[in-house]
Amino acid sequence: MTEAIIQPQAALDPLTEAPISKKEVCARIGISERTLDKLIVKDKAFPDGVSMGKQKFWLPVVVERYKASLFQMQSQWHPEPPKEGTLEALDGGQPFGYLSH
């Protein structure tokens, strides 16, 4: 029996994924088409699509990179230590009323 050889790299190659329409880009990000236009033209926060006929298309990887960039700053956030003299500082850094078990 001859088995097909599966190449995982090819399956994950962003250039082999089918391009998606403006409507699909907006649905995946959760924004309106007008907001996408603003992100492209005014804010320069999203790349312009590739024109194919009268429509524009994007690779799905572009949408995923944009979404990841939205959370980059949030993922680097760390809580500040409690300020001296606050209830949290007096309670060992725990919020007021916190009960440890």
What is the dihedral angle through the alpha carbons of 26, 29, 35, 39, rounded to the nearest 10 degrees?
Answer: -110
Question: Between residues 1 and 94, which one has the greater pLDDT?
Answer: 94
pLDDT at 96 over 80: no
**Model-level pTM?**
0.63
Output the furthest CA–CA distance in the chain (Å, rounded).
75
Classify burial at 80, counting beta carbons within 10 Å of its beta carbon; exposed 0-12, middle 13-18, buried 19 or more: exposed
Per-residue pLDDT reduced to its tens digit, 54-65: 999 999 999 999
Q: Which helix (H) or strand (E) holds 33?
A: helix 33-41
Per-residue pLDDT reduced to its tens digit, 17-60: 899 999 999 999 999 999 999 999 999 999 999 999 999 999 99
Domains of the chain with bracketed CATH: 15-71 (1.10.1660.10)
The pLDDT value recorded for residue 57 is 97
